[in-house]
Chain A
């Protein structure tokens, strides 16, 4: 087991990793920017080293500074948390070269998952369903017709070099195809200098479902069930839960086993998440893998009673999954609300001094936070100030516990998304489990009218 770990992160996840280390008897080294001098991860770590000015590019993302700190503190491992350097294959390589264990997957696995096309190809080859589409660029109009007929309408045409909606067209029927194929090519040419487009099946009313996995360094992988993360705003998750009301026991077992087999094939050796889109008809398609611990990991911890961060550290130290996680069982239901320092209606970040901070508690409530009364939320980093997690014997109990916890959560001095969460929890469609990734868009659109 490791003797001393450097935590290359800040905020609630730095504290989460600190707790795991404390329970494992591992000494901790915090790193911080000048803006975080009074942050709790600095106060609670055994040692703390300032690594740069507030801007993260010069501190938390500055590889030489982080590695130097690790060397002067003489640590044997680095935990990157999420964000910052967590999915930087180059950083993982520098750690290896410096004889420091990177607590995460291998640089090769990070690199593979970072290239979305290659990740999709590798997963398809390993037997995971991916969104049906053209294998690469659609060369001409005849091929476009043929491919669209094979995958079935509606289809989406996307610019191969592009992003941000340009060169993108939704085609509902064969008679629309050729004109839209032409405009997509023209637009792609103008916007990205290449007329190349590809085609894939349009997933209507999608739900975002993801599987938590953990692999060890001996070729073993387990899954820890799914999380439902459809409540998003601009691709940022807002509320997550486990299990998903849209995944039945058979699907969980079948897809879970497929995920495990696929990740064994690529030798995945840490915590990670396989993200899927579920279409209205119930089919799930792989979209990408996050090769790190995720923000929403606590909902899985609540329903499995597994400490994912401790497990991740233990497998990084070489322990086998058979000793870390002999059995994985699921019980009850958990929900997580991300409390951000943001205006709950306009979503503009609200940095500043927190004047009052009262955290709810009681049965089935967990709060992961690095915030406190008199803390200053710096404007340089993400706006997450707390994760409020509720657990219940079933979804209904998790919902009412979350409602009373939101009512008892007091934050003054900055605006937060607590009011937004109260509205979500009170929405009849949310309570009924009827939603997709457009739910929040619709809910907030109604309000601004």
Chain B
């Protein structure tokens, strides 16, 4: 589970109308950007702390989020 570390506005894509960073089914690496949270006019990239597969997106583009709000469900890859 990836939770929002800050209060702000959630953006799924790096640019308005652009392709989202990730969608359900995306495979992500640890440290990969998942979304942007805008707070006080600053764009903060939120990164994944695990490698795995995105299984859920809990929020919608442009939605306000609070501290600790669930953003993504990520199913981690099993370690070899």
Chain A residues within CB distance 8 Å of chain B: 34, 49-53, 59, 64-65, 67-69, 71-73, 98
What bracket does the count of chain B residues touching chain A fall in?
A: 10 to 19
Residues of B within 8 A of A49 (CB): 7, 64, 66-67
Within 8 A of A (CB), among B29-71: 39-40, 64, 66-69
B69 touches A64 (CB 8 A): no
Complex CA gap A50/B64 in Å reads: 12
Residues of B within 8 A of A68 (CB): 6-8, 39-40
Complex CA gap A348/B67 in Å reads: 32
Whether B9 is near chain A, meaning CB under 8 Å from some CB there, is yes
The listed residue with most A CB atoms (<10 A of its CB), out of B6, B9, B66, B69, is B66
A50 touches B9 (CB 8 A): no
Residues of B within 8 A of A73 (CB): 64
A51 touches B66 (CB 8 A): yes
B40 touches A98 (CB 8 A): yes
A67 touches B8 (CB 8 A): no
Complex CA gap A34/B7 in Å reads: 13
Known contacts A68-B8, A69-B7; A50 and B40 CB within 8 A of each other: no
Complex CA gap A34/B67 in Å reads: 9
The distance from the CB of B10 to the nearest CB of chain A, in whole angstroms, is 10
B64 touches A65 (CB 8 A): no
Residues of A within 8 A of B68 (CB): 34, 50
Complex CA gap A53/B7 in Å reads: 12
The listed residue with most B CB atoms (<10 A of its CB), out of A51, A64, A67, A72, is A72
A67 touches B64 (CB 8 A): no
CB-based closest 9 A-B pairs: A72-B64, A68-B39, A68-B7, A50-B66, A50-B67, A49-B66, A69-B7, A52-B67, A68-B8
The distance from the CB of B6 to the nearest CB of chain A, in whole angstroms, is 7
Residues of A within 8 A of B7 (CB): 49-51, 65, 68-69, 72
Chain B residues within CB distance 8 Å of chain A: 6-9, 39-40, 64, 66-69
A sample of 17 more A-B contacts (CB under 8 A), given A51-B66, A65-B6, is A49-B7, A49-B64, A49-B67, A50-B7, A50-B67, A50-B68, A51-B7, A51-B67, A64-B39, A68-B7, A68-B8, A68-B40, A69-B7, A71-B39, A72-B8, A73-B64, A98-B40
A50 touches B6 (CB 8 A): no
Residues of A within 8 A of B39 (CB): 64-65, 68, 71
Residues of B within 8 A of A64 (CB): 6, 39-40
Residues of A within 8 A of B9 (CB): 72
The distance from the CB of B16 to the nearest CB of chain A, in whole angstroms, is 18
Nearest B residue (CB) for A52 = B67
Complex CA gap A68/B37 in Å reads: 10
Complex CA gap A73/B65 in Å reads: 10
The distance from the CB of A33 to the nearest CB of chain B, in whole angstroms, is 8
The distance from the CB of A30 to the nearest CB of chain B, in whole angstroms, is 11
A71 touches B40 (CB 8 A): yes
The distance from the CB of A251 to the nearest CB of chain B, in whole angstroms, is 48
Residues of A within 8 A of B6 (CB): 64-65, 68
B66 touches A69 (CB 8 A): yes
Complex CA gap A51/B69 in Å reads: 10
Complex CA gap A49/B4 in Å reads: 12
The distance from the CB of A277 to the nearest CB of chain B, in whole angstroms, is 42
Complex CA gap A374/B37 in Å reads: 36
Complex CA gap A311/B8 in Å reads: 32
The distance from the CB of B43 to the nearest CB of chain A, in whole angstroms, is 12
Nearest A residue (CB) for B8 = A68
Known contacts A49-B7, A51-B7, A72-B7; A67 and B40 CB within 8 A of each other: yes
The distance from the CB of A193 to the nearest CB of chain B, in whole angstroms, is 39
The distance from the CB of A49 to the nearest CB of chain B, in whole angstroms, is 5
B8 touches A50 (CB 8 A): no
Complex CA gap A207/B58 in Å reads: 59
Complex CA gap A67/B67 in Å reads: 13
Nearest A residue (CB) for B9 = A72
Complex CA gap A254/B66 in Å reads: 51
The distance from the CB of B11 to the nearest CB of chain A, in whole angstroms, is 13
Complex CA gap A254/B39 in Å reads: 50
Residues of A within 8 A of B8 (CB): 68, 72
Residues of B within 8 A of A98 (CB): 40
The distance from the CB of B53 to the nearest CB of chain A, in whole angstroms, is 28
The distance from the CB of B69 to the nearest CB of chain A, in whole angstroms, is 7
